[in-house]
Amino acid sequence: MSDQTADPAADPQAAAMPPDETPEQAGFWKRLTSSSLIVTVLAFVTAMVLGGILIAVADPRTQDASHYFFQYPWDTFQYGFSAIWKGYVALFEGAIFNPHTASKGTLAGYAGPISETLTNATPLILGGLSVGLAFRAGLFNIGGQGQVIMGAIFAGFVGFHWHLAPGLHLVLGILAGMLGGALWGGLAGLLKAKTGAHEVITTIMLNYIAVYFLAYLLSVKGFQAPPYGQAISNRVFKSAQLPPLLGGSVRVHGGLILALLSAWFIYWLIEKSTLGFRLRAVGANPFASRTAGMNVENSYITVMLIAGALCGLAGVSQILGTNSQLTGDIDAGIGFDAITVALLGRANPKGIIAAGLLFGALHAGGTQMQSATGTPIDLVQVIQSLIVLFIAAPMLVRVMFRLKGPSSVVGGQLAKGWNG
């Protein structure tokens, strides 16, 4: 590891993205403390501790006990710790395994929590791949929200407007979703390539244009569901829906397969293909790539088309899998969560799958935590952002825990400024 990251400044790509092969000769402990994995784990633990403090603060019994803190300080701590314990147990039960529902012996009882985790993770993985791929090519795709919405609009329209044979309908729906996302992402890529408009600015603006476009569609007859009172679309036909993976009693659906296939494809694309080499080269140094005869502008368009298509797939998973009707919040914040997933996964497909599963589990568990202990689900957002904040500032984590090692910065080489 040391030889590869000896000079992070000269090789930012290697510094930001940990290489897949680490030399086996290095000592285990040295490898552990200098690897980015330890930073990730410590960031997670720190975020969970800070989240725990919030749980305790929000707990009514702990609040009451804190009024007589100076008489019986132990009460406050006792109630506080019990609130944290209960909260995190509920989080685990909602995300992984719940002994109370499992004792009923049904499939939903055993696999329900895992199914929720996977259902939540599916669009996060797809969105994370999209943002991650763009990162590798030196672009910051902040437009996941818009691309997810456009993907969902296209897929949903095919799903409820056309009548087709079951298999064909689903395939066309998926392709339409990819097309919708790719159009929206590709537009940002095209603007970047042809006019130099910074993709962060254009994608933020495209997000809002998509939001209002969806709001408009949800008030148009033919799109809106009768009796036209609510902003909700027609229902997608059964023939266009992604099949459930574990039967109808739990929610996990075929979108997960799409996500895993996409992850494999992106891995192949980045690591094995000529196009991927070109994209990585452009991401590492566009000027050198141009000198070497690569078409940098074309690369921007290509990568944003693929990134958009991936977010479009996340939209497909939302509309043809998890939900069956379009609503104003069909994107469910995936676009921005995807950025955190890509950063946590350090922009490589394996990491993104792991990060997507982790955040999917947090979302699934957060719902259970809210219903079981009354801790607001917004806690998940706080924990998520804290994890990424610590990941993005590895220097801070290393200072906090007195670790030595290279202080690489995720995304440090990306989007240097509005003009770059």
Partner 1 sequence: MTTMAQPPAPQAADELVVEHAVTRAPVSTAQRLGAGISLIVLGLVTVWRFGLEGHHDFPAKIRLGAADTAHVAHFSVPAVPAAYVCGIVIIALGVAWLIAPRRAWFGTVMGIGLALFVAAVLLWLASASSFATIDLVGLGTSTIGYSVPLILGALCGVMCERSGVINVAIEGQMLAGAWTAALFATLIGVAAGLVAGAIAGALVGCLLAVFAIRYLVNQVVLGVVLNVFAAGLTGFLYDAFMQQHTEALNQAPLMENHKLPVLGSIPVIGPLLFDTTVIVYLTYILIIAVDVWLFRTRWGLRTRAVGEHPKAADTVGINVLAMRYRNVIIGGAIAGLAGSYFIFQVGQFQKNITSGQGFIALAALIFGRWSPRGAVAAALLFGFANALGTNMSINAPSIPSAFIAMLPYVATIVAVAGLVGKVRAPAADGEPYVKE
Binding site for partner 1 (CB under 8 A): 54, 57-58, 140, 142, 191, 194-198, 200-202, 204-206, 208-209, 212-213, 215-216, 219, 336-337, 339-340, 343, 375-376, 378-382, 384-386, 388-389, 392-393, 395-396, 409-412, 414-420
E strand map for 314-419: 325-327
Question: Which of 244, 412 has the CB closer to partner 1?
Answer: 412
Beta-bridge partner residues of 224: 221, 233
Question: Which of 37, 393 has the CB closer to partner 1?
Answer: 393
* CA-based nearest residue to 155, from 181, 125, 130: 181
Measure the CA angle with vertex 156, ends 152 and 158; round to 5°.
Answer: 125
Minimal distance in Å, beta carbon 291 to partner 1?
22
Question: Which of 12, 112 has the CB closer to partner 1?
Answer: 12
* CA-based nearest residue to 332, from 349, 317, 347: 317
Minimal distance in Å, beta carbon 289 to partner 1?
21
What SS3 class is residue 128? helix
Q: Which residues contact 254 (CB under 8 A, 6 or more apart)?
A: 242, 243, 244, 245, 321
Minimal distance in Å, beta carbon 272 to partner 1?
28
Question: Which of 245, 397 has the CB closer to partner 1?
Answer: 397
**How far is residue 21 from each of residues 14, 17, 31, 394, measured CA to CA in Å?**
12, 12, 12, 21
The amino acid at 40: T
Minimal distance in Å, beta carbon 250 to partner 1?
28
User: How is residue 298 written in tokens?
Assistant: 């074309």
The helix (H) or strand (E) run that includes residue 232 is: strand 232-235
Q: What gap in Å lies between CA 175 and CA 197, rounded to an integer?
A: 28
Question: Which of 49, 57 has the CB closer to partner 1?
Answer: 57
Minimal distance in Å, beta carbon 179 to partner 1?
21
Minimal distance in Å, beta carbon 24 to partner 1?
32
Question: Which of 163, 404 has the CB closer to partner 1?
Answer: 404
Question: Which of 122, 384 has the CB closer to partner 1?
Answer: 384
Q: Which residues contact 311 (CB under 8 A, 6 or more apart)?
A: 126, 127, 130, 141, 143, 144, 147, 148, 151, 181, 184, 185, 334, 335, 338
Minimal distance in Å, beta carbon 374 to partner 1?
9
